[in-house]
Structure 1
């Protein structure tokens, strides 16, 4: 019998169809999935859905309220708020997805390797993660952006670095349990390489954890990106960004509150959608929470 003949562990990795069915049976999960899909569609097809050019200015129509021509009103330069929110979703989600991808690839890799290799590598990696975790999230992100300079790419990198320790610690724990399992020991005894053990026997069995944490991390990454843009350290004007729109609109709250209200609601809806989806995925994928199948 060879290592290739060993089956992977089968502890509850649901198929995609079954996962979707259980997710849709949960009211909050269904709501989170619908909100997330709609936000993603608005971001991807912003150029088609936007009723007006988000950069087009109409000085005579500035700070206008909701109307038939401008459904969500206009900002201080007469730009259509709805169009800028759609493009703002594209910018904010682009930064959030880039940041979570960086954190997942680097943090997840370090966490799994630390658990599998152990020894001095595990100790060094975890101490570095502890140092990063000691800093408040927003302050560490501000410090990195201050060094690198503002901009979408640097903002994504800064947020990604901030969340590397979260992914590293989260994936290290289940990887430690899987490393001590019998089927991993059997694969090693039959001569399977470390790479094969990790990619065929460990990684497939922590996909559930990855899905849950990725969804929740997207929720918080959107908030951090909005915070950095609000402070002028994220996306630069005139490019639409939800946090930047909120920052610009706060000056005119007494004259016209609608731009601030709608941009703030857009941030809330995006973060809430991914958060609801992550919570529902946790309930569906964790056997201790969903009971016996």
Structure 2
């Protein structure tokens, strides 16, 4: 593994960058040192100092602690959303490629209908039905990204279903479930891995946008998008909460996007550089 990462420096950097942010979220109670919910009104809108390393917001809450806990909120919401989208869309895409016929046509037309809506508009519509919350945001993002996984996996799955080893498995009487899970799914692992990382990057931006609009995490839950929304009203008095929250969203989304690009360059033989 060490030799592999040493040959792929971009992948190693991206993995370390993402891992660092995940660790900061996991160990937020230790790293943050401050209570993200504690309001100290006499310390309102302070700049970075030795006690509050990134300053305080309009209610005197520690910005660093709220950003670290905001990482938790964003990562939890987006991981759940992308996992649900992968499970639903990936399953539909593989089944459509395997069975074809009317099931393929009906499934893909439903995916086309979902594709017709702008991502943020569809997410807002789902939350309008479910009500604003973290879980509603996760479900909305999952619905938005389900057709992406379905379309993405259907293409290569169609090619694999015509391969000799799949036809051989059918000839010896292997069940459909065995062919799908033991022959079809493992050969799609690299595609799934790359697209999952890239969609996590996009999901972080969507979750932050929903929270910014008041449709995701609700106060006083720490959320990067919510911090950005609250901080914009005090930019002239104290730009620190909004600025640092914006950088946190940027770094988190950039990390997963860079990881997805690095994985694609490493796993795709057409893009792999010749040594």
**Fold match by TM threshold 0.5:** yes
How big is each residue's C-alpha offset from its partner over 1:4-53, in whole Å with a ceiling of 9 and x where there is no partner? xxxxxxxxxxxxx3xx7445533432221111101111111112221100
Match of 2:131 in 1: 149
Are 2:256 and 1:274 aligned? yes
Match of 1:173 in 2: 155
**Cα pair distance change 1:23/1:177, threshold 3 Å:** farther
Alignment equivalent of 2:59, drawn from 52, 77, 87: 77
| CA RMSD in angstroms, aligned pairs only | 1.2
**Cα pair distance change 1:107/1:213, threshold 3 Å:** same
Match of 1:253 in 2: 235
Are 2:104 and 1:122 aligned? yes
Alignment equivalent of 1:190, drawn from 147, 150, 172: 172
* Paired residue secondary structure (2:35): coil
Q: How many residues align?
A: 275
Are 2:200 and 1:207 aligned? no
Q: How far apart in 1 are the matches of 2:9 and 2:64?
A: 28
* Paired residue secondary structure (1:65): coil
Gaps in structure 1 of 5+ consecutive residues: 1-16
Are 2:17 and 1:35 aligned? yes
Q: How far apart in 2 are the matches of 1:31 and 1:61?
A: 38
Q: Does the aligned pair in 2 maintain the 1:32–1:272 contact within 8 Å?
A: no
Q: How far apart in 2 are the matches of 1:242 and 1:26?
A: 31
Gaps in structure 2 of 5+ consecutive residues: none
Q: Does the aligned pair in 2 maintain the 1:184–1:201 contact within 8 Å?
A: yes
**Which stretches of structure 1, 4 residues or more, deviate above 4 A after TM superposition?**
none
Q: Does the aligned pair in 2 maintain the 1:73–1:81 contact within 8 Å?
A: yes
Q: Does the aligned pair in 2 maintain the 1:31–1:276 contact within 8 Å?
A: no
How big is each residue's C-alpha offset from its partner over 1:105-163, in whole Å with a ceiling of 9 and x where there is no partner? 00000000000000000000000000000110001001100110011111100000000
Q: How far apart in 1 are the matches of 2:31 and 2:69?
A: 10
Q: Does the aligned pair in 2 maintain the 1:23–1:280 contact within 8 Å?
A: no
Q: Does the aligned pair in 2 maintain the 1:23–1:284 contact within 8 Å?
A: no
How big is each residue's C-alpha offset from its partner over 1:72-97, in whole Å with a ceiling of 9 and x where there is no partner? 00000010000000000001110000
Q: How far apart in 1 are the matches of 2:3 and 2:199?
A: 23
Match of 2:216 in 1: 234
Q: TM-score, normalised by structure 2?
A: 0.98
